[in-house]
Amino acid sequence: MKINIEKLDKLLNKIIIVLCIIIVVSGFNFFLEYKITSWTYEPDPDSLLWYISDQDYNSLSDRLLRYYHNNPQGQLKECLAVANYYKNTAFYKMHEEVGNDEKAKIFLDLMTENIRDMGDLSFAADDINKELGVELALPSY
């Protein structure tokens, strides 16, 4: 059996060209996906209030805490406090159930701080406590 070097060379050249095209298209796709995910998302307080009114605190936490702002103001700060309260309450309950009182106390202090920052949305603390099965008498501000 004789192998035709010219045919093999042409076949390899075509394979290399196809692979190069695949690499360029993949690189372009990666660049587009990177640009889309790196855009800054500005949470809208009105859409965040929808999660609170629907008592969907887990989705609120997912959406808001992913795009945390360094210095939120007004209603955005209150929504962030609700999201943090949900997260801290879940951690508090977890540590309380396993008997880790030291860490539970840390999260209890954070919960108290979150209630202070909730402002008009402090009613959500009771809903979150009921949802997570936490029985606490936290101060209201």
Write the pLDDT tens digit of every residue in 48-64: 788 888 888 877 777 77
Q: How many CB atoms lie within 10 A of CB 116?
A: 14
Residue 4: inside a domain: yes
Compute and round to an integer the Cα radius of gyration of the chain: 26
Q: Are residues 77 and 110 in the same domain?
A: yes
Residue 140: inside a domain: no
Which domain covers residue 87, as residue numbers? 45-132
Residue 110: inside a domain: yes
Rounded CA-CA distance 107/76 in Å is 22
Which range, 6-10, 76-80, 103-107, 119-123, has the best average confidence (pLDDT)? 103-107
Q: Are residues 51 and 96 in the same domain?
A: yes
- Given a contact cutoff of 8 angstroms between Cβ atoms, the answer to whether 69 and 76 are in contact is yes
Percent of the chain at pLDDT > 90 equals 40
Residue 141: inside a domain: no
Rounded CA-CA distance 129/8 in Å is 71
- Given a contact cutoff of 8 angstroms between Cβ atoms, the answer to whether 93 and 132 are in contact is yes
Higher-pLDDT residue of 104 and 48 is 104
Q: Are residues 67 and 28 in the same domain?
A: no
Rounded CA-CA distance 97/57 in Å is 21
């008009």: which residue's tokens? 120
Average pLDDT of 99-107? 92
For residue range 65-92, list pLDDT tens digits in order: 666 666 777 888 888 889 999 999 999 9
Which residue in 98, 88, 97 sits closest to 129, CA to CA? 88
Higher-pLDDT residue of 116 and 141 is 116
Residues sharing a CB contact under 8 Å with residue 120, sequence separation 6 or more, in sequence order: 78
Q: Are residues 113 and 71 in the same domain?
A: yes
Confidence grade of residue 16 (pLDDT, cut at 50, 70, 90): very high
Cα–Cα distance list, 17 to 4, 26, 46, 126 (Å)? 20, 14, 52, 63
Q: How many CB atoms lie within 10 A of CB 84?
A: 20
Q: Mean pLDDT across the chain, nearest whole number?
A: 84
